[in-house]
Amino acid sequence: MLNRNIKVARSVALCIFITTIFRSAISGADNAADTTSTNENERFPIERFNLIFVPVTLFEKEETFYVDTGTSTMLLDKRRFERRLGKPLETVAASGSVTTQRIALFKSPSLVVGHKLSTTSGDGRPIACADLSQLGDFLGKDVTGIVGMDFLKSKVLRVDFDAGYASFPKAASNPSEKSERLTFLNTGAPSVRVQIADEGFHSFMVDTGSNGTVTLEPPLFARLLKSKQIVLRPDVSITDVGGESKQRRGILSRLTIGSYQFSNLNVDETRSNSIGMAFLQRFVSEFDFVNRRLYLYRSRSTYLPELRTLTGFGVKGRNGSIVVTGVAESEHQSEIQNDDLVIRVNDRPVNQFTLTEIQILCMVPDSKLKLTLERCGQRFDVTVDLKRIPDPFPSVLPEEDSNPSDK
């Protein structure tokens, strides 16, 4: 029997830098089409969901997967593939950020990741099946699988938000540069040491399958809250493929990774310590899994301030629609309620937006967001003032970034 703890995919978190998202959405496809360097096998666009989508060919058809360092094995959508995989090898527990579910493992079929990197059923690795239907609702995209660490562990993965693409280089670009030591958790996920405020160093999973920024396990979150190194934010539900749970969100005083130090970061309380793509987009990142190194190169976004959901509620996908979720105690609570159906956004039909685009509009400070909602068959309009949230802690910007007017 295989002893595996497989993490299932999570929903897209709300913490995304607007400038990077729009830059990637506009230029990502063009950059990805550029001629690859001699060190690269192939380039893939980083799309506006802040995730890395790659084509995967199996059963003679090209499918859309995304790259997730937080998932231990290749994962397929059971609705599309389970009947074609034969008899399960076993069933195991799979842990998400909020829930745990049982999923089946199968003998892997032959498949090709991208157009050049192949893995076959002959290597003996199992492949997992789970229901990814909710993932498609979250992303507004038909995702049928996930590329996990069983494939990635023998690769180098470069993630360049400035250029808008990810790639699988043949080797690390600058192996003489300073790097962070990667270790691997019992799930196979990579982790690094991160210093959190005055709490010392902790191991953090590096998770390209999460669109969030930083998550903290409950005991660490509680200690930081008690020592006033976290300021709580209005409660907005955190949702994953398996379900929804109300958990605390906050603003962290200080975080240090390698030579980089940040203040006033968005943090969520979840099952484990992790850093996601909204944090990694501060860098050009290069994962050398073979040699257990993570290179973090400074980018245009390294010291951009965090942006935060300013509505006091969230939105999520449900059965092809967008609904309100996680309404916090605020001035809007009497007029906006959980499960209100979103019909129009800023006078445009909701189907003209992806879920992520609506979430972005919830984070533009000093703006107004007009929503047409439906409740019990009745439609009504609500206008929300998005007021800027001041940073609660002193800035730790490096000296060269502290005075932008000099540039």
pLDDT of residue 135: 76
Give the separation between CA 333 and CA 110, rounded to whole angstroms. 52
Is residue 284 within 8 A of residue 158, CB to CB? The reply is yes
Cα–Cα dist 370/183, whole Å: 46
Which residues of 126-200 form beta strands (DSSP E)? 126-130, 145-147, 156-160, 165-169, 180-181, 183-184, 190-196
**Bridge partners, residue 348, by sequence:** 345
Residue with tokens 């030591």: 181
pTM: 0.78
User: Hey, what CATH topology would domain 180-298 get?
Assistant: Cathepsin D, subunit A; domain 1 (2.40.70)
Residue 56 confidence (pLDDT): 93
pLDDT at 305: 84
Cα–Cα distance measured from residue 96 to residue 71, given in angstroms and rounded to the nearest whole number:
10
Fold match between 18-169 and 180-298?
yes
pLDDT in tens, 46-61: 875 678 999 999 999 9
* Tokens, residue 154: 């023998």
Residue 87: CB atoms within 10 Å: 7
pLDDT at 397: 67
Q: What are the b/e assignments for 197-218, b being 16+ CB within 10 Å?
A: beeeeeebbbbbbbbbbbbbee
Q: DSSP letter string over 291-308?
A: TTEEEEEE-TTTTPPP--
Distances (CA, A) of 147 to 72, 114, 153, 277, 280: 9, 11, 11, 16, 18
Cβ(337)–Cβ(324) under 8 Å? yes
The structure tokens 């993490």 sit at 7
pLDDT in tens, 235-267: 454 544 444 555 788 999 999 999 999 999 999
For residue 31, the surrounding DSSP H or E stretch is helix 18-32
The pLDDT, as a whole number, for residue 47 is 75
Query: What does the alpha-carbon distance between residue 85 and residue 105 come to, in Å, rounded to a whole number?
Result: 9
* DSSP-based three-state secondary structure for 392: coil
Backbone angles phi, psi at 218, to 5 degrees: -50, -45
The four Cα atoms 227, 230, 231, 237 give a dihedral, to 10 degrees, of -130
Q: What residue ranges do the domains of the chain occupy?
A: 18-169, 180-298, 314-386
pLDDT at 15: 31
Second-level CATH architecture of 18-169: Beta Barrel (2.40)
Superfamily for 314-386? PDZ domain (2.30.42.10)
List, for the chain, all residue ranges whose pLDDT scores fall below the cut of 50.
Answer: 1-4, 9-36, 97-98, 121-122, 235, 237, 239-243, 402-407
Beta bridge partners of 257: 260
